[in-house]
Amino acid sequence: MILTPFFLAAGGSLGKWIAKLHETFIENERYKMMFEGFRNTLVITLGALVIGVTIGMLIAVVKYLAEDVPGLKPFAWVCDLYVKIIRGIPMVVLLLIFYYIIFALAKDGVPVAIVAFGINSGAYMAELIRSGINAVDAGQMEAGRSLGMSRIQAMRVVVFPQAIRYILPAIGNELIALLKETSVAGYVAVMDVTRAGNLIRNNSFDAVNPLMLVAIIYLVLVLLLTWLLGKLERRLKTGDKR
């Protein structure tokens, strides 16, 4: 009996909440900002992932080969410098430099953000791909070479297919970090999820709902990625015939 008014009250506040949501998100079609932000966050994250993995792979292979080929030493040195510089600069600062100095003429911030986040990610990818390659027993490369394979051939068919078991989960973790890091894209006027939420907060005078929604979107995306990663890792384990 005592519970009845509570339910009524809850129903009442639920109704109020829905009205508030309508006011915050539907009026002036503010939800459209959120859609655009969601799309941009995904585009920047995936674009940066592709660039990052490509750069990381290139650097890892150059540095690995340079251990044996003296001609590659200067390239390895350049790679080291790149990794050191990038890892020493905060992402936001890097993004501002790319937008206001290097691509000062760019009208759209999204491609600039993709490049900036990709170049940043590449430095971290390089290190984790390299440690994956180094985790494979040195005897594997020797066995390949002893059969007459070149360093690159042995890398391709012997070492790398084994290193991938260590590398993929690490790339997944980097992807999660990257996704969350893109929340600073708003610094260069890119409409990502975070900036969309913040703009809606500003326009609607409702701070709670837009910011909670932003947080929930990131959380759900991260949980989704984590779940996919777990599946991947289990698959790599069962495929492990060692």
Partner 1 sequence: MISVKNLQKDFGGVKVLKGLSTEIEKGDVICVIGPSGSGKSTFLRCLNMLEKPTGGKIIFEGDDLTDKKVDLDRHRQKMGMVFQQFNLFPHMTVMKNLIVAPMMLKKIPEEQAKAKAMELLGRVGLVDRADSYPNQLSGGQKQRVAIVRALCMEPDVMLFDEPTSALDPEMVGEVLDVMKKLAAAGMTMVVVTHEMGFAREVSNRVLFLDDGVILEEGTPGEIFDHPRNERLQSFLAKVL
**Which residues contact partner 1 by CB under 8 A?**
137, 139-140, 142-150, 153, 157-158, 161-162, 241-242
The percent helix, strand, coil of the chain (3-state, each to 5) is: 85, 0, 15
Residue burial 103-113, b: 16+ Cβ < 10 Å; e: rest: beebeebbebb
By beta-carbon proximity to partner 1, the closer residue of 149 and 199 is 149
Residue 70 and residue 231: Cα distance in Å, rounded?
41
By beta-carbon proximity to partner 1, the closer residue of 157 and 208 is 157
Q: Residue 176 has which token pair?
A: 């999660």
> In terms of C-beta density within 10 A (0-12 exposed, 13-18 middle, 19 or more buried), how is residue 33 classed?
buried
Whole-number minimum distance, CB 27 to partner 1, in Å? Answer: 58
Whole-number minimum distance, CB 71 to partner 1, in Å? Answer: 12
DSSP string, 19-62: HHHIIIIIGGGTHHHHHHHHHHHHHHHHHHHHHHHHHHHHHHHH
By beta-carbon proximity to partner 1, the closer residue of 39 and 151 is 151
Q: Residue 229 has which token pair?
A: 């990663």
By beta-carbon proximity to partner 1, the closer residue of 28 and 153 is 153
Whole-number minimum distance, CB 118 to partner 1, in Å? Answer: 30
Whole-number minimum distance, CB 48 to partner 1, in Å? Answer: 30
Whole-number minimum distance, CB 242 to partner 1, in Å? Answer: 4
Is there a contact between 189 and 199 (Cβ–Cβ < 8 Å)? no
By beta-carbon proximity to partner 1, the closer residue of 81 and 157 is 157
Q: Residue 11 has which token pair?
A: 């129903």
By beta-carbon proximity to partner 1, the closer residue of 141 and 185 is 141
Whole-number minimum distance, CB 129 to partner 1, in Å? Answer: 18
Whole-number minimum distance, CB 152 to partner 1, in Å? Answer: 10
Residue 86: phi and psi, rounded to 5, are -60, -40
Residue 153 DSSP code? H
By beta-carbon proximity to partner 1, the closer residue of 13 and 150 is 150
Q: Residue 203 has which token pair?
A: 């326009």
